[in-house]
Amino acid sequence: MTHSTTRRAMLRGSVATAVLATAGTAAAGTAHAERQGSGPNIGILLYDGYSLLDPTGPAEVLSRLPGAKVTMIAERRGPVRTDTGDVAVVADRSIDEVGALDVLLVPGAGNRGTIAAMGNQVLLDWIRRIHRHSRWTTSVCTGSLVLASAGLLDGREATTYWASADYLESRFDVTYRPERYVRSGKIITAAGVSAGVDMALHLASLIAGDTVAKAIQLAVEYDPQPPFDSGNAAHADPRLKELALRLLAESQV
Amino acid sequence: MTHSTTRRAMLRGSVATAVLATAGTAAAGTAHAERQGSGPNIGILLYDGYSLLDPTGPAEVLSRLPGAKVTMIAERRGPVRTDTGDVAVVADRSIDEVGALDVLLVPGAGNRGTIAAMGNQVLLDWIRRIHRHSRWTTSVCTGSLVLASAGLLDGREATTYWASADYLESRFDVTYRPERYVRSGKIITAAGVSAGVDMALHLASLIAGDTVAKAIQLAVEYDPQPPFDSGNAAHADPRLKELALRLLAESQV
């Protein structure tokens, strides 16, 4: 089998040639090649102590929208570490460099990161400024507490991480809804961590239509089959909840 | 409400104090605080052009295992960019610095990244060396093509990204199984992209038992409710498959 045949066989179907043509013309090496952004300009706000899947799940989905550009943004450029301290994603832009976005996504974090972000007036000011002209302002997990701290959820319905629901309602003028994601005007809040993937597919359908969103779901082979059925707090045993929160606490720095 | 009360109210339930005690004793700022690894030593291999959710979904899940340490590893330390070029995750260790792991995870990539990794003898040698003494060797998406290139899948059953199934079988002595994840001895391969989350929960149960795995599923609120039912290629319309592959190709650099 020649190398060319090998390549051609990697993806079956009529689109394989186009796929490989794209791959073939790509810049080599690790250089950061910027794609032309004919589609939505999507910004994801990183802050110290975020939970890794909160920004990366939606980024995976939204980056497949036609012409989309996804940018990781933080107060300062550079690596931003997760709640466990184990992983860092690079913020390629500082908030000073970003004055407008089509889509803003604010991820959630562990307690330490969430509390810090809720009290960070520089971040909250930037969120308010971006929200003023965004098409969609979104959050995952305790990111809704950050949006609420910025005053964006006043009088609205929203969701959040299951263990933070009481806090959201007691602290802010927000009605908690135990849904996977909740849309209120141009704001969409998602439930905890993995819910960002479902929210992002919904958002993809709002931006580019159902067919594109369905194709993205297929592109990321999102046909979930968890080995257990224990992800919904409304049906969880109190002891399992306690263990879940203990594992979270012990894994965080 | 005092600041202390505010903190205490954030997470409901009896474990809240423990959660906040942990948060309170954490090192401040963005320093990389290393946790003591009394649990599994988990290494995730990054290489240029990987798909973002492949390493980050499992990392989110596995990092909640008691005492676990998750390390992002690459041929060289530093930021490693995804297939879209939009996002970089930092490799905190080079392969030269890592001689043993309890769990190795090899993510998938776009065509460019997959082809390069399959032909990178330095990476393949390292994978073989780590696999010799690992407890579990795992892959997500086209990561199974990389494991196969290292000779680890000879004569085995495995899964991979749906569009790469024919290629896997034609190129290697591997029997493709269209499952969410496939275990063969100490090797577990997962299907495309998002399947890594399901595989990681299964792996969590093998490492720490069903109760811990269920608690982790609750901790990341993994109660999937995608807005569509289009993630399974076996039931997908050919035109949707073509669109999915085109969106992937166009989003990759």
Partners of A110 on chain B (C-beta within 8 Å) are: 23
Where do the structural domains in chain B lie, given as residue ranges?
Answer: 37-225
Minimal Cα–Cα distance from A33 to chain B, Å?
A: 6
One-letter identity of residue B39: G
Compute the radius of gyration of chain B from its Cα atoms.
19
CB contacts < 8 A, A to B, total: 390
DSSP state of B121: H
Mean pLDDT confidence for B96-102: 98
pLDDT for res A38 = 85
Higher pLDDT, B68 or A16: B68
Look at residue B15 and tell me whether its pLDDT is greater than 70: no
Share of chain B above pLDDT 90, in %: 85
What is the pLDDT at residue B37?
59
Give pLDDT, residue A17: 32
Compute CA A164 distance to the chain's CA centroid, rounded to the nearest angstrom.
18
Report yes or no for ipTM above 0.90.
Answer: no
Helix or strand holding residue B245 (H, E): helix B238-251
Chain B CB within 8 Å of residue A35 CB: yes
If pLDDT is split at 50, 70 and 90, which confidence band does A37 have? Answer: low
C-alpha torsion sign, points A216, A220, A221, A223: negative
Nearest CA in chain A to B217: A231
Contact between B228 and A251 using a beta-carbon 8 Å cutoff: no
The minimal CB distance from A18 to the residues B26, B64, B246 is found for: B246
Q: Is A9 on the interface with B (CB under 8 A)?
A: yes
Which of 115-154 (A) contact B at CB < 8 A? Answer: 115, 141
| C-alpha span between A115 and A118 (Å, rounded) | 5
What mean pLDDT do residues A216-222 have? 98
Cβ contact A253–B29 (<8 Å): no
B26: distance to nearest CA of chain A, Å?
Answer: 5
Residue in B163, B167, B251 closest to A63 by CB:
B251
Least confident segment among A108-122, B24-38, B122-136, B175-189: B24-38
Name the band, by pLDDT with cuts 50, 70 and 90, for residue A51: very high
Query: What gap in Å lies between CA B43 and CA B59, rounded to an integer?
Result: 9
Instruction: Report CA torsion sign: A144, A43, A59, A94.
Output: negative
Mean of the per-residue pLDDT values for chain A?
Answer: 89
- B173 as an active site residue: the answer is no
pLDDT band at B36 (very low <50, low <70, confident <90, very high): low
Please check the confidence at residue B1 and state whether its pLDDT lies above 60: no
Write out the DSSP string of A15-55: THHHHHHHHHTSPPTT--PPPP--S-EEEEE--TTB-THHH
Which CATH number among 2.40.50.100, 1.20.1250.20, 3.90.1280.10, 3.40.50.880 corresponds to the domain B37-225?
3.40.50.880
Instruction: Determine the average pLDDT of the residues in A28-39.
Output: 51
**For B139-149, what is each residue's pLDDT tens digit?**
999 999 999 99
Record the tokens describing residue B106, joined without a space.
């090899």
> Residue A32 has what pLDDT?
44
Residue found by looking up tokens 């579990």 in the block: B136
Percent of chain A with pLDDT over 90: 85
- pLDDT exceeds 90 at position A8: no
A224 touching B (Cβ < 8 Å)? yes
In the prediction, which pLDDT does B40 show?
Answer: 98
The Cα-based distances of B234 to A223, B114, B180 in angstroms read 11, 23, 12
Residues in B 177-216 with any Cβ partner in A closer than 8 A: 180, 191-195, 197-198, 201-202, 205, 210-216
pLDDT digits (tens, 9 = 90+) for A72-131: 999 999 999 999 999 999 999 999 999 999 999 999 999 999 999 999 999 999 999 999
Cβ contacts of A5 within 8 Å, gap of 6 or more: none
Q: Does B19 contact A at CB distance below 8 Å?
A: yes
Tell me the pairing of strands A41-45 and A156-158.
unpaired
Residue pLDDT, tens place only, A138-166: 999 999 999 999 999 999 999 999 999 99
Structure tokens at B131: 């696999």
Lowest mean pLDDT among A39-43, A80-84, B6-10, B243-247: B6-10
Per-residue pLDDT tens over the stretch B122-172: 999 999 999 999 999 999 999 999 999 999 999 999 999 999 999 999 999
Q: Which of A53, A141, A145, A158 is catalytic?
A: A141
CB of B53 less than 8 A from some CB of A: yes
Q: Is the pLDDT of residue A178 over 90?
A: yes
The answer to whether residue B72 neighbours chain A at the CB level (below 8 Å) is: yes
User: Would an 8 Å CB–CB cutoff place A162 in contact with chain B?
Assistant: yes
A63 and B86 in contact by Cβ < 8 A? yes
Average confidence score pLDDT of chain B:
89
Pick B66 or B2 by higher pLDDT. B66
Instruction: Name the token pair of B127.
Output: 């994978």
